Amino acid sequence: MTNFIIIMLSAVFINNYVLSRFLGICPFLGVSKKLNQAAGMSVAVIFVMLMATAVTWPIQTFLLDPNNLGYLQTIVFILVIAALVQLVEIVLKRYIPSLHKSLGVYLPLITTNCAVLGVTILNIDEGYTFAESMVNSFGSGLGFFLAMVMFSGVRSRLEGADIPKAFQGLPVTLVAASITSLSFLGFSGVIENLFA
Measuring CA to CA, how many Å separate 2 from each of 58, 122, 133, 135, 191?
24, 20, 15, 12, 11
131 binds other proteins (CB under 8 A): no
Dist. CA 32–CA 156, nearest whole Å? 9
Of these, 26, 63, 174, 185, which contacts other proteins (CB under 8 A)? 63
Dist. CA 86–CA 76, nearest whole Å? 16
67 binds other proteins (CB under 8 A): yes
Of these, 3, 58, 74, 83, which contacts other proteins (CB under 8 A)? 83
Dist. CA 133–CA 57, nearest whole Å? 8
| Segment contacting other proteins by CB under 8 A, of 14-22, 67-75, 113-121, 179-187 | 67-75
Q: DSSP secondary-structure letter at 127?
A: T
Of these, 3, 26, 69, 174, which contacts other proteins (CB under 8 A)? 69
Nearer of residues 69 and 174 to other proteins, judged by Cβ:
69
Nearer of residues 91 and 190 to other proteins, judged by Cβ:
91
Of these, 26, 93, 161, 192, which contacts other proteins (CB under 8 A)? 93
Of these, 3, 74, 90, 105, which contacts other proteins (CB under 8 A)? 90
Residue of 2, 15, 13 whose CA lies nearest to 123? 15
Measuring CA to CA, how many Å separate 137 from each of 142, 151, 158, 189?
9, 21, 31, 21
| CB 83, min distance to other proteins, A | 3
94 binds other proteins (CB under 8 A): yes
For the CA atoms of 70, 75, 77, 83, what is the dihedral angle to 10 degrees?
-150
114 binds other proteins (CB under 8 A): no
| CB 50, min distance to other proteins, A | 19
3-state secondary structure of 145: helix
Please give the residue ranges that form the binding site for other proteins (CB under 8 A): 59, 63-64, 67, 69, 71-72, 75-76, 79-80, 82-83, 86-87, 90-91, 93-95, 97
